[in-house]
Amino acid sequence: MSSRESIGGLLANASAPTFSFEFFPPKDEAGQQLLTRTIAELEPLEPDWVSVTYGANGSSRQRTLDAVLAIIASTELTVMGHLTCTGQTVDELKAVIDAYGDAGVTNILAIRGDMPGGASVPWEPYPGGLHSATELVGLVASRGDFSIGVAAFPDGHATSTPELDAQILLGKQRAGASFAVTQLFFDLGHYFELVGRARSAGCSMPIMPGIMPVTSVKQLGRFAEMSGADIPAKVAERLLSVSDDPEQVLAAGVEIAARLCDRLLAAHAPGLHFFTQNRSRVTREILATLRADHQPDRRSPAAE
Ligand SMILES: Cc1cc2nc3c(=O)[nH]c(=O)nc-3n(C[C@H](O)[C@H](O)[C@H](O)COP(=O)(O)OP(=O)(O)OC[C@H]3O[C@@H](n4cnc5c(N)ncnc54)[C@H](O)[C@@H]3O)c2cc1C
């Protein structure tokens, strides 16, 4: 694989579910070392691609580019760079898109970003900027032969309705997107309802489920606040029942996420996208469980 492999093409031709990993750009040297180690531990699992997030208002622009370039230089992985349109002019966005292109990054996740304060704070377009992720998809498509991904929301977006979300996804596909990746979720039904609404609206692109295992009780509230994800009572109860033992909480988080992944694959989801939080252990453990059940011959066993 190379950094130039098109994720849209890869998904269109995939004969098995894809697996991909998301990282955030490190803030300092210690963060860089952690990310380097994590990628070294995850690369042997042969993910179909990896991605690097982007600060909502362009704040991490250089760090994201640097992290993407480092992955290209030191691995064989296919890489996708995220790009948000919050807080940036169209000219600034064009410069980032061109920088991705010049670096050989042909996969971009085009998302809007949020105002400081999160998704529920009313969003305001930046002067000289864009109004939505759909416009960003169009801008990216106009600058070169990029494979473009977009965001989708199984639990709905804070400022939308499920029906509007489906129309927005269709608009993104028409603007040039070829796949979507979802926000984290815990309710399998919500993911398939989203896919069903998108298909009814005429949107045919693959919608990759985004998987975020809960590894500490503190994260329960934080994830719900950050992403709008509904945490089912059963999930919260299971984690709270072992809250005084961090190792057991982590084991329960892995078990819950692995069960969700297992059910997604059994119901023919096109793949799984793991939000790794720049750590490898939990993702390795979940994939080891899944590969034992779903595709034992596809890849080498997880590194210990
Ligand atoms: C997989 C994934 C990765 C992400 N990565 C990042 C990242 O790297 N950096 C980051 O800062 N954030 C990231 N986010 C978060 C994302 O920026 C927020 O969820 C944001 O609130 C919405 O982004 P969007 O691309 O869906 O926006 P949009 O598609 O623009 O939609 C946002 C809202 O605008 C309104 N809207 C848009 N289009 C229309 C329309 N045609 N008609 C009416 N209303 C409309 C709706 O209320 C809609 O809910 C990610 C999210 C996901 C799911």
Measured CA angle at 122 (ends 152, 117), to 5 deg:
85
Q: For the segment 213-241, what is each residue's pLDDT rounded down to a tens digit?
A: 988 888 877 777 777 778 888 888 999 99
Q: Which fold has domain 7-293?
A: TIM Barrel (3.20.20)
Please indicate whether residue 36, judged by its CB atom, sits closer than 6 Å to ligand 1.
no
CA distances from 206 to 149, 159, 195, 277 (A): 10, 23, 9, 24
CB within 8 Å of 71: residues ≥ 6 apart: 3, 39, 50, 52, 77, 79
The pLDDT confidence band at residue 148, using thresholds 50, 70 and 90, is very high
User: How far apart, in whole angstroms, are the C-alpha atoms of residue 76 and residue 93?
Assistant: 27
The pLDDT confidence band at residue 50, using thresholds 50, 70 and 90, is very high
Mean pLDDT over 180-195 rounds to 96
Nearest of 202, 110, 93 to residue 150 by alpha carbon: 110
Q: What is the pLDDT of residue 143?
A: 98
> Which residues are registered as beta bridge partners of 49?
20
* 74, pLDDT greater than 90: yes
Predicted structure pTM score: 0.94
Ligand 1 probe mutation, 108, 132, 194, 274, most atoms within 8 A of CB: 132
* Length of the chain in terms of residues written: 304
The pLDDT confidence band at residue 20, using thresholds 50, 70 and 90, is very high
Buried/exposed code over 190-229 (b: 16+ C-beta within 10 A; e: otherwise): bbbebbebbeebebebbbbbbbbbbbebebbeebbeebbb
Please indicate whether residue 84, judged by its CB atom, sits closer than 6 Å to ligand 1.
yes
* Cα atoms found within 13 Å of the Cα of residue 263, Cβ hemisphere only: 13
The pLDDT confidence band at residue 295, using thresholds 50, 70 and 90, is low
User: How far apart, in whole angstroms, are the C-alpha atoms of residue 29 and residue 18?
Assistant: 31
Domain residue limits, the chain: 7-293
Q: For the segment 111-140, what is each residue's pLDDT rounded down to a tens digit?
A: 999 988 887 788 999 999 999 999 999 999
Least confident of 42-51, 118-127, 163-172: 118-127
> Which residues are registered as beta bridge partners of 77?
none
Structure-block tokens of residue 66: 């640097």
| 22 in active site | yes
Give the distance (Å) from ligand 1 centre to CA of residue 23.
18
